[in-house]
Structure 1
Amino acid sequence: MLKLHDIQAAARARREEEGEKGFTLIELLVVVIIIGILAAIAIPIFLGQQQQARMSAVESALTNAKTEVVAALVGSPNGTLDAALVGPILTSYSVDGVQLTAPTVSGTAFCLQGTHTAVTGETRSVTDTGGVQTTACAP
């Protein structure tokens, strides 16, 4: 009884004798399946890296905006902050999908909050007394 391997080997030998070159359908299918498996593994990892990079951009913008808000506070004539002073600073850092807001601005206390338009459900915040947090500003 002939086995599939023997049939394939005979077909390959016949093609070599006749000068034909190429791949069999089974060989091509195996390659396509392997590429599909590799893509199924790589694509979710790539998408996760994109999300992390976007949230890192939010964190960087928050850190830079906090530095600028503190500088504005120090340079303020009455030593306090208001929304009119903080608003333009946040607008200057709200680019490329990063959106910064200031839900809390009162006297010398503030909380800046940031999100990214391409990432849903994740918010970062920074206060006048701390670094970047993975939560929203407290009311």
Structure 2
Amino acid sequence: MKNNTQGFTLIELLIVIAIIGILAAVLIPNLLGARTKANDVAAASVARQVLNAMAATEVGNTTGTTPTCAYASNNVAVTAGTESANVNAPAPITGVTCSNVAAAAGAAGAPGTPAQYSVVVTYSGGTAATKTLTANK
């Protein structure tokens, strides 16, 4: 009996493997760049949300204290006097710090209100280790 089945030749298999290798070499770096960009965008988003929370807590605050924030287990607690707000900060975020630059003191020595808020978000897997945003009041 004669066997009429034919398979692929060695040359055909090598050409297919070479094409797959070239495609992988082109696509894998692009996919890794997308993940890095996503981490950068996530850090910027958390920083903007914390800035908004700082401004919102100051608006409702009647005690005159400036907004502060504390990062713990993927959550940022923003407080100003009796007002508070929470901001979700999931991975890749590893830390958030806030600061206020106060304006000159008010009448009769009252503390000045913040003239500027600053948020520094620490994260992993991006193009930088930190993302800093500043907002003027």
Q: Tell me the distance in 2 between the aligned counterparts of 1:93 and 1:105.
A: 21
| Change over 3 Å in CA distance of 1:56–1:43 after alignment to 2 | same
Aligned residues: 112
Structure-2 residue corresponding to 1:9: none
Structure showing the higher helix proportion among its residues: 1
Report the CA distance shift for 1:91/1:28 in structure 2 as closer, same or farther (over 3 A). farther
Alignment of 1:1-139 (within 5 A): 18-83=3-68, 86-87=69-70, 88-89=77-78, 92-107=87-102, 108=114, 109-119=116-126, 121-129=128-136
Q: Larger radius of gyration, structure 1 or 2?
A: 1
What stretches of structure 1 move > 6 A for 4+ residues in a row? none
Query: How big is the alpha-carbon RMSD for the aligned residues of Structure 1 and Structure 2?
Result: 2.5
Shift of 1:116: 2.1
Task: List gaps (5 residues or longer) in structure 1.
Answer: 1-16, 131-139
CA distance in 2, matches of 1:94, 1:19: 64
Higher-strand-fraction structure = 2
Distance 2:136 2:65 in 1: 15
Per the alignment, residue 134 of structure 1 pairs with none
**Higher relative contact order by CA 8 Å / sep ≥ 6: 1 or 2?**
2
